[in-house]
Structure formats: structure tokens, C-alpha cells
Structure 1
Amino acid sequence: MNNKKKKSSSKIWLKRHFKDFYVREVHKNKIRSRAWFKLDQIHNKFNIFKNNNIIVDIGCSPGSWSEYALKKIGSQGKIIACDISFMKPIFGVIFIQGDIQDICTYSLILQKLKNKKADICMSDISPNISGHAVIDIHKSISLSTAALNLSIKILSKNGVFITKIFQGENFNMYYQLIKKKFSQVKIYKPHASRFKSREIFIIAKNIKE
């Protein structure tokens, strides 16, 4: 692609980007990212958050999900957020910088839970996007599987697991794996997700015995 075509493509992308309703709302309301609206739509659909919930937020950076959940659970609730990337502090949220595939990170999460079970484990985790669908989907499945395994260990029996996943190869295998672990499993694509995006969300409730 020559320079003129690159500049033209960039201009088109920027024009579409700033015409996007959710992008405008992010700037208008000083929200960390459009992911805030995705979680809002998930909550409105499935009534996820309750007062005093204990929440573990995986792949939390830049912090929109923790920011949203904090307003829903009240001052007696608790949020432990984790990401391999740094997250700008949110008052009332405990942040752990680390890889959830690392046993040390898992141990830190358990330490912060203080022998209590979480009510919600939510994962907006995503790999660094390469642009190659097969590679990106494989990485996404791997990270989401790690999030699922963690959720099984830390959630209460009636807990809720929310995870983002990319549609494609092995998606059905991952979906079936979640169905083996939880008694209620739903698939949902919020309006705030871009139309062309492969991302989709799975909401699972009640761990099976």
C-alpha cells in the first residue's frame, strides 16, 4: 500500500472512529474506555451486580469494568483487579499487576480474597492483537481458558463468570467446556461491541457440583 492510500485509509478510520456514538460518550463522560458500556448492557440484560459483591476483574486495564462495578456494589463490596499491564489507580479497587497464568499472581489473588469466595469473576482479557485471525483467536482461547480455570477455583457455588471471547476456531469447544462447569450459560453481544468485531461475551452462572 502506498503512502497516499495509507493516509486515505487512516482518515477514513479516524472519521468513523470519532463519529461512533460510544467513542463520543467515552470522551463526554470521561470514561476509561467503551468497555464500560458493554458491561452496562450485560448487567442490564442479566442483572449481574448486587450490593456487597466480591468481584475479581481479570484483564482489567484500563479499568472501565472495575469503575462500573464499583458503583453497583456499594461501599461494603470488594473488587480485586488484575492485569499484566499497568492500570491507573481507582480508589476502592485493589490492583494486582501480573499474569493470571502465573501461580504467583493466582496466590496474590487468593491472599487478597482472605479465604472468601468471589461472587463474580469477570474477564475482559485480550491478547495483543496481531491482525492474524487464527493466531489471535488461539491466544484469546488460551487466556480465556486460564480465566475460566481461575473462576472455578475462586467463585462461590452461585457465582457468575463473565468472559469475552473471539468467535472462530475452537470457540464451540470453549463454550462446551463452560457448559460442563456451569449450569446456566448464555451468549451475548452488547450493542457497544463494534459490528465487525469478532468479540462476544459468555455469561455463566451456578457452578456445577
Structure 2
Amino acid sequence: MKRSRTSKAWMQEHVSDQFVKRANKEGYRSRAAYKLMELDERDKLIRPGMTVVDLGAAPGSWSQVVVERLKGSGRVIALDLLEMQGLPGVEFIRGDFTEAEILARLEELLQDSPVDLVISDMAPNMSGVASIDQARAMYLAELSLDFAWQWLKPQGNFLVKVFIGSGFDELVRTMKPEFNKVVIRKPKASRDRSAETYLLGLGRRQAGV
């Protein structure tokens, strides 16, 4: 099949992208690694000894960053619908986070132990219909937030990818009572033309506080 002009332009942009080149040179599985690095350097999200849950983990670049910054002390549990090549120090579950059975497997691994950080880079398979894609993306963000509410330790943090559009303001308003601070972040490695951004909930409040 002949490539469209759009696909050719995307490929050209991809191969010339500074973050793609860095990822290839430095051994990261995707350019997304630099998004988490920048956010961690700014907001001090990852520390040795933490338990971190990585939702939408494949191909594994965020888990790579977390493992490096835990420095051999801590735990990483990663989950994705797609297969992910194994990483030392990462426990991986392959499955659909929207399915109760997969969520139960994740919760079983946690063994009633709360977590310090939940990170979600999940995104739906895009249909090309903006309203449908936005609704699916917000649904994943809301499910991630529900999980974080249940499993984060007091003062734990939550990072989630979202897309500016319908439901965004409502999600921000929903998060604000649950965290000491909610901020919007757009890392440099996130392409300017992309509607993707990140919501960061800092300091999970205790119930009733």
C-alpha cells in the first residue's frame, strides 16, 4: 500500500526528533522517557524505597526511568494491554485495565499494601472521531484516578495523561479536593501540536481531611 503524505510526514518528523534520537542513543524504549524525567526533576516524584504502579506501561520507557531512580530499593508494577519486553525490577501484567479481572490481578499483587505513586500514560486506540476519542481518553483517566484514590498512601502522588477537551475541567475539579495541590504539566518531550498534557495530583489527602 502506498504511503500517504501524512504518514510520510510523520515518519520524517519521528526520525528527526531530538528525543527519539536521544532515546535510541541512551537505551530508552521510547521518547516518552524524557517526559517522566522532566516531571520527576521538577516535582520530585520518585525516591528510593517507593512502590510505583505504571499504567499503560508499554513499551516500558516510564518503567525504565522509575527503576533507575529507585536505585535498587522499591517496587514497580507495570500494566498494559500490549505485550512488554521484560525489565529487571519490574513486575508486569498484560491485560486491559478496564476489565475487572485484570484490576483484580493488579490488586492481588499489591497484597493490601498502599502505593506511593501511580503514573498513567494510557491512551485509547484512536478512532479518528474526536468526540469518541476524547471520551475514551477521559474514561481511562477517570479509572486511573479511581485506582489512585483507593491505593495511594496519604501524601502519595498521581500523574495521568489527559487530552485538552471535553471532560478536562471536570477531571481537574474532581481531583482538587483529593490532593493538596493539582497542577497541569506539558513536558518539553510532549509535541507542541499534540493536545496531550499531564495532570499531577500532589499529596493525597487523608479521608476526612
Q: Is the shorter-chain TM-score for this pair beyond 0.5, marking a shared fold?
A: yes
* In structure 1, C-alpha distance between the alignment counterparts of 2:27 and 2:146, rounded to whole Å: 34
Q: Normalization by structure 1: what TM-score?
A: 0.93
**1:182 — aligned with what?**
179
| Equivalent residue for 2:28, pick from 26, 31, 35 | 31
| Equivalent residue for 1:205, pick from 197, 202, 207 | 202
Q: Secondary structure at the match of 1:158?
A: strand
Is 1:164 aligned with 2:161?
Answer: yes
* In structure 1, C-alpha distance between the alignment counterparts of 2:156 and 2:14, rounded to whole Å: 36
| Equivalent residue for 2:45, pick from 36, 43, 48 | 48
The gaps in structure 1 that reach 5 residues or longer are none
Is 1:102 aligned with 2:116?
Answer: no
Q: Counterpart of 2:61 in structure 1: which amino acid? A: S
* In structure 1, C-alpha distance between the alignment counterparts of 2:113 and 2:4, rounded to whole Å: 53
* In structure 1, C-alpha distance between the alignment counterparts of 2:161 and 2:86, rounded to whole Å: 23
**1:146 — aligned with what?**
143
**1:124 — aligned with what?**
121
Q: Normalization by structure 2: what TM-score?
A: 0.93
- Cα 1:10/1:109, change in 2 over 3 Å: closer
Is 1:194 aligned with 2:191?
Answer: yes
Deviations 1:37-86 (A, max 9, x none): 00001001111111111001111111111111001112220001111111
The gaps in structure 2 that reach 5 residues or longer are none
* In structure 2, C-alpha distance between the alignment counterparts of 1:103 and 1:202, rounded to whole Å: 25
- Cα 1:18/1:177, change in 2 over 3 Å: same
| Equivalent residue for 1:155, pick from 152, 155, 165 | 152
* In structure 2, C-alpha distance between the alignment counterparts of 1:82 and 1:12, rounded to whole Å: 31
| C-alpha displacement of 1:12 | 3.1
* In structure 1, C-alpha distance between the alignment counterparts of 2:152 and 2:4, rounded to whole Å: 48
**1:70 — aligned with what?**
67
**2:79 — aligned with what?**
82
| C-alpha displacement of 1:7 | 4.5
Could you list the structure 1 runs, at least 4 aligned residues long, displaced by more than 6 angstroms after superposition: none
**1:173 — aligned with what?**
170
Q: Counterpart of 2:92 in structure 1: which amino acid? A: F
Deviations 1:168-193 (A, max 9, x none): 11110111111132221110000000
Q: Secondary structure at the match of 1:173?
A: helix
Q: Secondary structure at the match of 2:92?
A: strand
| C-alpha displacement of 1:101 | 2.0
Root mean square deviation, CA, Å: 1.4
Q: Counterpart of 1:182 in structure 2: which amino acid? A: F
Q: Percent identity, aligned pairs only?
A: 31
Q: Secondary structure at the match of 1:85?
A: coil
| C-alpha displacement of 1:8 | 4.1
Is 1:60 aligned with 2:66?
Answer: no
